[in-house]
Amino acid sequence: MTTPATLPILLAAAIGAGGAVVAQVIAALFTARREAARLEWEKSKQEHDWKLRETDRLLAAKQALYSRYISLLYRPVMDTVQLTRKEYASEANWHDLVPAYVGSLADEIDDLRWNVRLVGSPIVAERVEFSNAALLVAVSEAGRPDRTSLEKRREFAERALAAWRQVSEAMRADLRGDDAALEQLHSRAVGQKGMIQGREPGPD
Query: What is d(CA 200, CA 192) in angstroms, rounded to the nearest whole number?
Result: 8
How is residue 203 annotated by DSSP?
A: -
Write out pLDDT tens, residues 78-127. 888 887 776 566 666 666 667 777 688 889 999 999 999 998 889 999 99
- Of 30-34, 36-40, 49-53, 100-104, least confident by mean pLDDT is 49-53
Q: Closest Cα partner for 164 from 79, 41, 39?
A: 79
- Of 131-135, 139-143, 151-155, 172-176, least confident by mean pLDDT is 139-143
The mean per-residue pLDDT over the stretch 24-40 comes to 69
Q: Closest Cα partner for 117 from 128, 132, 131, 133?
A: 128
- Tell whether the model's pLDDT for residue 161 goes beyond 90: yes
Q: Closest Cα partner for 172 from 63, 68, 61?
A: 63
Cβ distance 80 to 120 under 8 Å?
Answer: no
How is residue 182 annotated by DSSP?
A: H
Q: Model confidence at 151, in pLDDT bands (50, 70, 90)?
A: confident
* The pLDDT value given to residue 166: 93
* The pLDDT value given to residue 15: 53
Q: Does 144 or 160 have the greater pLDDT score?
A: 160
Q: Does 191 or 198 have the greater pLDDT score?
A: 191
Q: What is the DSSP string of 110-164?
A: HHHHHHHHHHS-HHHHHHHHHHHHHHHHHHHHHT-TTTS-HHHHHHHHHHHHHHH
Cβ distance 123 to 185 under 8 Å?
Answer: yes
The mean per-residue pLDDT over the stretch 121-136 comes to 92
* The pLDDT value given to residue 129: 93
Q: Does 1 or 158 have the greater pLDDT score?
A: 158
Percent of the chain whose pLDDT exceeds 90: 27
